[in-house]
Structure 1
Amino acid sequence: MLPERTDVLVVGAGPTGLATAVTLARQGVEVTVVDRLERPPVTSRAAVVHAYTLEVLERIGVAAPLVARGLRSPRFRVRDRDRVLATITFGDLPSAHPYALMVSQAQTEAVLADRLTDLGGRVLRAYELTGLDLDAAGAVATFAGGGTVRARRVVGADGMHSRVRELAGIGFGGPTDPGESFLLADVSVESTLPRDEVSLFLARQGPMVWAPLPGGVVRLVATVADAPRDPEAGLLQALLDERGPARRPDRITELLWSSRFRIHHRVAETYRRGPVLLAGDAAHVHSPAGGQGMNLGICDAVALGETLADVLAGAPETLLDDYSTTRRPLAGEVAGFADRLTRLATLPPVARPLRNVLLGAVSAVPPARRRVAMRLSGLTHRPARPGTARSPHPAVPPR
């Protein structure tokens, strides 16, 4: 049942919404999480948690149980069929997590939900937001069926088609075309590719990601002209034959699940309007190349949760504006990086030899290879002074 009042209403129970709620609950803030779905999804797009995200998750007590459920990948390779164009290693990253953690988004959500439960919280499900009235005291949220909740702050973590963003009147600029079409699937596959590394295949037809997951599962993500609603095993096999290894081709033995999605490159015009704040896909969407989307959303969430907790405890309201002005440029940077990776894959044939030489040069030069590894891992977003991710706010009274 919906409460009449709450300090913070979080709309959306994906990784971003759950991480926001866990961060707030740890600080003793009254937080209510709602989601329109009756049960959490068992399938998901994201499949990697990077080093910096794991460092952020350590702050809310989630990293260790998540690492226990995942597969550690020490390297990332860029390939053109059988040819390795570049190898990026994570083993020498300046982090306690020198790897990419391969784990389904569904598992990430489950770990976050367990942590929220441990803190006395829970997700209220099958509540669809229909209205949002802002006033000096915060906001009144209305739900299908007539229920209402008064909140001092509302967090929109409800994805690319965010109802919170729409009701708050926040623009979501970007192209008006249908967007890039992707299919994704989890498969069992006979393959000679290493089961501890991610491969990005660059093909004239578009990029394809081959990502191992625990239990011998492989996540495939590929751009296609127009993905069908439920991609079948035959189509996925054709993509592997077209873009994957040629000398010893992969063979799909079982299709576990498949789906499709479209992505625009968009960033919200602001992350804050009065008592409403945005995080994750509600604030930014882009190509999945590089596996950056969910990671950026989780880092948004912890930064926002910490800032909200401070403001609710008496810190200056302007800190919420600082959240928007600090996090929004990072979204533009990540979107640009993902777009460049996608463009690398779709260069015309005449430009591919030069591209391959340049990628090989990057891989062969340690400083360049390290810069790419730092960028992929998210460690370039780490605060300049480790251990000071949160600036102290003298105005905050003791709790």
Structure 2
Amino acid sequence: MLPERTDVLIVGAGPTGLTAALTLARRGVEVTLVDEREQPQVTSRAAVVHAYTLELLDRIGAGAPLVARGLRAPRFSVRDRDRVLVTVPFHRLPTRHRYALMVSQSVTEQVLTERLAEAGGRVLRPYRLTGLHHDAAGAVARFDGATVRARWVIAADGIHSTVRTLAGIPFTGPADTEESFVLADVLVDSTLPRDGASVFLARGGPLVWAPLPDERVRLVATATDPPAEPDAAYLQRLLDERGPAQRPDRVREVFWSSRFRLHRRVAETFRAGPILLAGDAGHVHSPAGGQGMNLGICDAVDLGETLADVLAGGPDRLLDEYADRRRPLAHEVAGFADRLTRLAVVPPAGRPVRNLLLRLVSALPPVRHRVALRLSGLNQRVTVRQ
């Protein structure tokens, strides 16, 4: 049952909402976390947790248990079929997490849910938000059969955020950025190394090949009009067209598959009075580079700690500073993901030059290190609230 009043209402119990709730609960804040689904999702888009995200999860007690359930990948590669164009090692990163952690988003959510329970919190399901308005005392949220007054509301309800829509916050971006993607967890016969993710640059678009625990592999690829649930034959064609050529992968089993479409979008503000945005409610972009969930988790820790400080007597302007920090980061990450996608779709005549330039650049250790910092998220240390 929903409470009549709460200090903080969080709508959406994905990684962003769970992280925000855990951060606040550990600070002793009264928080109510709701989700409209009856059960957590067992399939998920994200499959990597980067080093900076792990550092922040360490701060709220969720880093170590998540690392224990994931696969450490100490490098990232960019390939054109059988040619390795760039290898980005993580072993020199200035962190204890010198790797990318390959782990399904559903596992990340399980770990966060377990830690939230230990902190005295839980997810209330299923509650669908139907109305929202705010006044000088906070916000009033209406659900089917219930009303909750909250001092603050966090929108963590994803791309199609009801909170953001009801708050009247525009969600804007270039008109020509719609892309379709295929995702699948598969079992494959492959000679590719399982100590790092690979991005294959191909004429049809990028293909991400990422190892997961239990011998599974996550495939992510741009595609034109893909089926709702791509089957083994469809995924095999993608691998044949974009993956290794001399010793091609062979799909043995498909555990789950899906498609989704998205536009590049960033909210025009991350704060409207007592309503605050985090994660996909505030920004969405290409999954290239595996940045989306990571940015959302980082939003959530930043917002949770900032909001806890305000509730403890800190100035209200701290929340404006949160919004001012996170929105430029969202634009920067969206641009980075777009650039990775554009590298893949260079016309055939330009691919030799592209490949040569990438191989020359990859020969420079300082450049490789900067790319590693960017992929890992550690470049955010200079811009986020510590």
Q: Which amino acid aligns with 2:249?
A: D
Partner SS state of residue 382, structure 2: coil
Equivalent position of 2:224 in the other structure: 225
**Residue deviations 1:38-69, cap 9 Å, x none?**
00001000000000000111110110000000
- Deviation, structure 1 residue 196: 1.5
TM-score using structure 2 length: 0.99
Equivalent position of 2:336 in the other structure: 337
Equivalent position of 1:75 in the other structure: 75
- Which residues of structure 2 form unaligned runs of 5+? none
Equivalent position of 2:58 in the other structure: 58
Query: Where in structure 1 do 4 or more consecutive aligned residues deviate above 4 Å?
Result: none
Equivalent position of 1:2 in the other structure: 2
- Deviation, structure 1 residue 175: 3.5
Alpha-carbon distance between aligned partners in 2 of 1:267 and 1:87, rounded to the nearest angstrom: 31
Matches within 5 A, 1:137-216: 137-144=137-144, 146-176=145-175, 179-216=178-215
Alpha-carbon distance between aligned partners in 2 of 1:176 and 1:244, rounded to the nearest angstrom: 30
- Deviation, structure 1 residue 369: 0.6
**Residue deviations 1:79-135, cap 9 Å, x none?**
011011110000111100000000000000000000000001000011000100111
Q: Which amino acid aligns with 1:170?
A: I
- Deviation, structure 1 residue 227: 1.8
Alpha-carbon distance between aligned partners in 1 of 2:177 and 2:44, rounded to the nearest angstrom: 21
Q: Which amino acid aligns with 1:137?
A: A
Alpha-carbon distance between aligned partners in 2 of 1:274 and 1:128, rounded to the nearest angstrom: 22
Q: Which amino acid aligns with 1:289?
A: A
What RMSD in Å do the two structures reach over aligned CA positions?
A: 1.0
Indicate conservation of the 8 Å contact 2:16/2:279, yes or no: yes
Matches within 5 A, 1:341-352: 341-352=340-351
Q: Which amino acid aligns with 2:135?
A: D
Question: In the alignment, is residue 12 of structure 1 matched against residue 27 of structure 2?
Answer: no
- Deviation, structure 1 residue 258: 0.3
Indicate conservation of the 8 Å contact 1:26/1:60, yes or no: yes
Equivalent position of 1:236 in the other structure: 235
- Deviation, structure 1 residue 361: 1.4
Indicate conservation of the 8 Å contact 1:178/1:262, yes or no: no
Q: Which amino acid aligns with 2:254?
A: L
Equivalent position of 2:286 in the other structure: 287
Alpha-carbon distance between aligned partners in 1 of 2:27 and 2:227, rounded to the nearest angstrom: 45
Q: Which amino acid aligns with 1:94?
A: P
Q: Which amino acid aligns with 2:38?
A: E
Alpha-carbon distance between aligned partners in 2 of 1:212 and 1:333, rounded to the nearest angstrom: 27
Q: State the identity as a percent.
A: 72
Alpha-carbon distance between aligned partners in 2 of 1:178 and 1:162, rounded to the nearest angstrom: 19
Indicate conservation of the 8 Å contact 1:182/1:221, yes or no: yes
Partner SS state of residue 198, structure 1: strand
Q: Which amino acid aligns with 2:116?
A: L
Q: Which amino acid aligns with 1:303?
A: D
**Residue deviations 1:246-273, cap 9 Å, x none?**
1111001100000011121110000000
Matches within 5 A, 1:123-142: 123-142=123-142
Indicate conservation of the 8 Å contact 2:185/2:255, yes or no: yes
Indicate conservation of the 8 Å contact 2:177/2:264, yes or no: no
- Which residues of structure 1 form unaligned runs of 5+? 391-399
Equivalent position of 1:260 in the other structure: 259
Partner SS state of residue 325, structure 1: helix
- Deviation, structure 1 residue 383: 3.4
Equivalent position of 2:308 in the other structure: 309
Question: In the alignment, is residue 100 of structure 1 matched against residue 100 of structure 2?
Answer: yes
**Residues paired across the two proteins, number:** 386
- Deviation, structure 1 residue 178: 7.7
- Deviation, structure 1 residue 313: 1.0
Partner SS state of residue 255, structure 1: strand
Equivalent position of 2:23 in the other structure: 23
Alpha-carbon distance between aligned partners in 2 of 1:178 and 1:52, rounded to the nearest angstrom: 28
- Deviation, structure 1 residue 177: 5.3
Question: In the alignment, is residue 38 of structure 1 matched against residue 38 of structure 2?
Answer: yes
Indicate conservation of the 8 Å contact 1:285/1:293, yes or no: yes
Q: Which amino acid aligns with 1:129?
A: L
Alpha carbons of 1:203 and 1:247: their partners in 2 closer, same or farther (altered >3 Å)? same
**Residue deviations 1:360-396, cap 9 Å, x none?**
0121100011010010000100137xxx943xxxxxx
Indicate conservation of the 8 Å contact 2:6/2:151, yes or no: yes
Alpha-carbon distance between aligned partners in 2 of 1:199 and 1:176, rounded to the nearest angstrom: 29
Q: Which amino acid aligns with 1:368?
A: V
Alpha carbons of 1:178 and 1:291: their partners in 2 closer, same or farther (altered >3 Å)? closer
**Residue deviations 1:110-167, cap 9 Å, x none?**
00000000001000011000100111110110012x2111100000000000000000
- Deviation, structure 1 residue 174: 1.5
Partner SS state of residue 247, structure 1: coil
Alpha-carbon distance between aligned partners in 2 of 1:179 and 1:226, rounded to the nearest angstrom: 12
**Residue deviations 1:316-367, cap 9 Å, x none?**
0011100000110000000000000000000111111111011101211000
TM-score using structure 1 length: 0.95
